[in-house]
Amino acid sequence: MRAVFALSVVVATVAACGSEQDFSAKLSSTETTPPGTSPTTSEPEPVVDTGAPPTDPTTPTTEPPVDTGTPTTDPVDSALTTDTGTAPALPEEPVADAGFDSEWSPLDIVQLDGSASYDPDGGTIVSYEWSMIDAPAGSTAALDSTTRVDPSFFADLAGDYTFELTVEDSDGLWDATPDQVVVTTTPIDGMYVELSWDADADLDLHFSRNGADLYDRPDDVCHCNTNPSWGAPGTADDPSLDADSYGFGPETITVDSPENDTYTVEVHYYGQDGYASCVGNCPDTDATVNIYLAGVLAASFTETMTNSDQVWEVATVTLPKGQVTESARFYQTTVLDCF
Ligand SMILES: [Ca+2]
Ligand SMILES: [Ca+2]
Ligand SMILES: [Ca+2]
């Protein structure tokens, strides 16, 4: 330890006085000088191991090893004033990247992608935090994870879904500016009808042709007649109830290529939790029906429904004119199932 320490003094001192080349030459000379040969008078004394206690590097030696005639520089001060490149860099905040905005269809399962998030100082992303900022009115969509790099959600209605991502890096820092991504869902079917509502109730969407009564099979599409075979051979003109929901909905009906006809859209307040009645009084709920034709919102209706067995005839849709005519008719029914 002692010899090493003495050598460090020489290094610091020589570096302070001149070039590293000078030091190398001196070190070589010291190591290779044969016994009995006197070193040159300019050789630094501390290189020789005299068995003396270590010299405090902060204390200038009384006999500088090399007298070049220049002012003696304190090695410690010299190091402090010249070593500007080794100060540790301050850690930087990570950058959140929620991925590209994208377009989908309603009822798609959409996967988000936060993997382009990064840490500018070379650290790693250790935490992801997603939140839903906005969604179509009446949507009950939710991410299957708020902490995974690539969570998914079921796009239950047409419209825009906005999500925000914030990330944490291995320095324990969070991004200063969360990133947002917008997922837009647009119906691609010839006809797309959606029903949403805002209370814990069981509402049912009905879609019929030929002036059929509620629950007529096969002409009324609903929870007990979800995908009847209509019209021409093949399924392109067949309607489909995509989900029967209760709680807070929603329900949708799609027809890829509907035949020219007049269709009727109705909403039945069935009850609650799948039962044809409610626990206590049925809650009032605002029901909204959106009718899309060829991917474009053709009409939107909202009414307050108040009790079990209530039926709201919303509108008729006539193709190929694409005419939507509001019905705004309410009645009570005693029919609760297909026949
Ligand atoms: Ca960082
Ligand atoms: Ca329902
Ligand atoms: Ca068919």
> In the chain, where are the structural domains located?
2-82, 102-185, 191-332
User: Is residue 28 over pLDDT 70?
Assistant: no
Q: Of the ligands numbered here, which is closest to the C-alpha atom of 229? A: 3
What spacing in Å lies between the alpha carbon of 317 and ligand 2's midpoint? 22
Ligand at minimal distance from the CA of 237 is 3
- DSSP-derived 3-state class of residue 75: helix
Three-class secondary structure of residue 45 per DSSP: helix
**Pair of tokens at residue 44:** 């630094």
Strands (E), 140-198: 152-154, 159-169, 179-185, 191-197
Which stretch of 42-51, 145-154, 167-176, 296-305 has the lowest confidence by average pLDDT? Answer: 42-51
What is the pLDDT, as a whole number, of residue 239?
97
112 Cα–ligand 2 center, Å: 29
Closest ligand to residue 117's CA: 1
In order of 23, 29, 118, 158, 178, the CA distances from 163 in angstroms are: 63, 71, 18, 16, 10
Could you say which architecture CATH assigns to the domain 102-185?
Sandwich (2.60)
Architecture of domain 191-332: Sandwich (2.60)
Strand partners, 331: 311
> pLDDT over 70 for what percent of the chain?
75
Which ligand places an atom closest to the C-alpha of 168?
Answer: 1
- pLDDT band at residue 208 under the 50/70/90 scheme: very high
Listed residues: CB within 5 A of ion ligand 2: 202, 204, 244, 246
Nearest ligand to the CA of 241 is: 2
Q: What is the pLDDT of residue 333?
A: 95
Residue 88 region, left (φ>0) first, then alpha (ψ -120 to 50), else beta?
beta
Q: Considering every ligand atom shown, identify the ligand nearest to the alpha carbon of residue 230 and give its number.
A: 3
How many angstroms is it from 241 CA to the middle of ligand 2?
11
Nearest ligand, CA 95: 1
CA of 294 to the centre of ligand 1 (A): 48
> Does 294 score more than 50 pLDDT?
yes
What does the pLDDT look like over 129-159, one tens digit per residue? 999 999 999 999 999 999 999 999 999 999 9
Neighbours of ion ligand 3 (CB under 5 A): 231, 237-238
Whole-model pTM: value is 0.72
Ligand nearest to the CA of 119: 1
- Res. 19: pLDDT tops 90: no
Q: How far is the CA of 260 from the centre of ligand 3 (A)?
A: 13
pLDDT > 90? residue 114: yes
Measure 161 CA to ligand 2 centroid, in angstroms: 23
Average pLDDT over residues 1-10: 35
Cα R_g (the chain), whole angstroms: 40
Taking the C-alpha atoms of residue 31 and residue 48, their distance in angstroms, rounded to an integer, is 10
Q: Output the CA 229–ligand 3 centroid distance in Å.
A: 5
Q: How confident is the model at residue 83 (pLDDT cuts 50, 70, 90)?
A: low
Mean pLDDT, rounded, for 13-34: 35
